[in-house]
Amino acid sequence: MKATDTLIDAYAKRGPRGLLADCEQMILCIAGFDGVFTMSPAQAVELSRNLDDDWLSGFNRTFELLCLAGADRGIDLQQFKQLALSTYSFWQGCVPMKEMESIQRRLFVPCISAMYDLKRALIVECGKSGEAACHDRLKRSALWRTALAFGVLVVTEAVIGFLVWRYGEGSNLLQKLTNAWSWPVLGFAATAILYPFIMGRERMRVLKWWKGEIDELESKSG
């Protein structure tokens, strides 16, 4: 259970980008494994002896994470599992070289094909997560700029109110504001005109999306 919990935590923390790096590393590892069969049996055995426990442990952990990634995304990695486990056993000296060569020849193409399916799925996820992060940044920026525009409006109206109170016509503040009603309205209008420029096109699109207007417009245009 402890090992399972550790694997669950590792998978949860890995994320699509980390899994994509693992997938690319495994593809290179499997593709480069062909070079073993150009060696003599003695050279291959010597190479397997030089692989330390850390490398084998890292290979096994990457294998488990990629199997979880495939299961999570509905990608059949059965051929990859067979080839990876056979390769792991070969490095440990449990599978003869000739048998491993036959397994490699039979499983290489479907294994690589499945791994590329996983790679494409992870690339799509990375793209979507990047878009989501950008969307979140635009939302925060839109809120900040809206607060800025509101602050500009408050300051503008305060200045107009002070000028009307100081120089306006009338015996009291209410009469002065009534006589100079166009100036406060002009402050609101100026802020409304400047608001899209303060926000920018992308942030305005975010606000429309937030209100559901973009979906409605797209459905009407469709």
* Spans of the chain below 50 pLDDT: 213-222
Residue 76: per-residue pLDDT: 92
Residue 134: per-residue pLDDT: 64
Contact 118, 66 (CB under 8 A): yes
Residue 176: per-residue pLDDT: 76
Which stretches of the chain are DSSP H helices? 2-32, 41-49, 53-72, 78-91, 97-167, 173-179, 182-199, 201-211, 213-221
Residue 214: per-residue pLDDT: 46
Q: How far apart are CA 77 and CA 65, in angstroms?
A: 12
Residue 77: per-residue pLDDT: 92
Residue 114: per-residue pLDDT: 92
Q: How far apart are CA 82 and CA 109, in angstroms?
A: 13
Residue 196: per-residue pLDDT: 77
